Structure 1
């Protein structure tokens, strides 16, 4: 188990409080690749009727938040997201997802 200092724990819990952040991180944690287009990410983490809304939310809110935390790198020119990962964040994500079992399947949803 990784130990986080208070600042890291607060930052991580704040990120994991956001559903789009959780689902984005869960997608990368279970994916075989660490790079994905924003369109494919939106498709992977939501239902077919919410893809465009999710894509916009990812672009303007979720990805900047995750990028500020050093967890992803978003390239707006190619519209791709690269996951950097963090063991402490992934361990907390696992604990949070265990408490929210309804979200476990969402990282594999598609149209």
Structure 2
């Protein structure tokens, strides 16, 4: 039996998961013990290393609004806090993609 799937829902999910920053952000929250993080802490987890300020800007202007529009996170720009809401379908799809591309270094790592 086939499940009734709305094409817009599938397209939106795949569009979100096509972005390395979105994948990495979602994986950070799935692996975290907290469901809310300051954006600077999240940036350090998304891109470990020296690019923290650049990552904060990218998260603030691009990644977090996309994830918030999809209902996956809530971003309070005044307190610079990101709260993860998650979505079982997105999490399952991300887990499947992660398994499929387990040997691919760049699947969830954000490159220079």
Same fold (TM over 0.5): yes
Q: CA RMSD in A?
A: 1.7
User: 1:70 touches 1:84 (CA, 8 Å); kept in 2?
Assistant: yes
Q: Count how many residue pairs are aligned between Structure 1 and Structure 2.
A: 104
Match of 2:41 in 1: 40
Match of 1:74 in 2: 75
SS in 2 for 1:36: strand
The higher radius of gyration belongs to 2
* TM-score after normalising by structure 2: 0.85
Unaligned runs of 5+ residues in structure 1 are: 107-111
Pairwise CA distance, 1:59: 0.3
Matched, 1:98 2:99: yes
4+ runs deviating over 6 angstroms: none
Match of 1:30 in 2: 31
User: 1:21 touches 1:62 (CA, 8 Å); kept in 2?
Assistant: yes
Q: Which has the higher helix share?
A: 1
Matched, 1:10 2:11: yes
Distance in 1 separating the partners of 2:45 and 2:56: 11
* TM-score after normalising by structure 1: 0.85
Unaligned runs of 5+ residues in structure 2 are: none
Residue by residue over 1:45-98, the C-alpha shift from the partner in whole angstroms, topping out at 9 and shown as x without a partner, is: 112112111111000000000000000000011000000010000011111222
Whose RCO is larger (CA < 8 A, sep 6+)?
1
